[in-house]
Amino acid sequence: MEVEIRQIKENEITMELFAHFNRYQDVKRCWRKEEGKWVLKDIAFVEQWSKEDCAYLVKCLKHTAATEGMVCGAFEDKALVGFCSVERERFGSRRQYVEMTALHVSYEKRGKGIGRRLFAAARSAAADFGAEKLYMSTHSCEETQAFYKAVGCVEAEEYRKEAVEKEPCDCQLECGV
């Protein structure tokens, strides 16, 4: 089945949009920065969104769309199987960054190139917004970091304070647009 990548309008962002989206992730190992070096540690847990998590996501994505950011979805047979979001606000010492605040692919659809296509859409949006680089605060688990490395991300030259404070265990990454 063909996967369509397209922008999601603010009025489409509802709890129902995410009704069949499966955020499941069985995390076994995560990266941590210790004494200035990245170390892979045995840190195991299951990641899964609650209804409250999903409601918060809907609120955040609606805000992104309302403030002229980009919310993009991957749809298969009209069902959401992946999405990403990029904020329009530029920041950094040279205003070189915009932030990708979300990139997720439904569990059963991972490994099929959907994440790469969404990431390409995020980079394109960053360029459209006048940024030099796409910034992201990303899950530190081994598989997520392997994905971001494979699409060309590196550790951010400048960390965004708000992102680090919100998720201190995340990896702060960037990628040129």
pLDDT tens per residue, range 115-151: 999 999 999 999 999 999 999 999 999 999 999 999 9
Q: pTM of the entire structure?
A: 0.96
For residue 177, pLDDT beyond 90: yes
Q: For residue range 74-93, what is the model confidence (pLDDT) as tens digits?
A: 999 999 999 999 999 999 99
For residue 1, pLDDT beyond 90: no
Looking at residue 154, its pLDDT comes to 98
Question: Which among 45, 64, 44 is positioned nearest to 56, based on CA atoms?
Answer: 64
Q: For residue range 70-79, what is the model confidence (pLDDT) as tens digits?
A: 999 999 999 9
Please list, in sequence order, all residues whose beta carbon lies within 8 angstroms of the beta carbon of residue 134, skipping any fewer than 6 positions away.
86, 97, 98, 99, 100, 122, 123, 126, 174, 175, 176, 177
Give domain limits for the chain: 3-176
Looking at residue 56, its pLDDT comes to 97
For the chain, percent of residues with pLDDT exceeding 70:
100
CB 154 within 8 A of CB 91: no
Which tokens hold the place of 93? Answer: 């010492």
Separation between Cα atoms, residue 11 and residue 162, nearest integer Å? 28
Which tokens hold the place of 132? Answer: 């030099």
Q: For residue range 12-52, what is the model confidence (pLDDT) as tens digits?
A: 999 999 999 999 999 999 999 999 999 999 999 999 999 99
Q: Which fold has domain 3-176?
A: Aminopeptidase (3.40.630)
Question: Which among 56, 51, 45, 58 is positioned nearest to 17, based on CA atoms?
Answer: 58
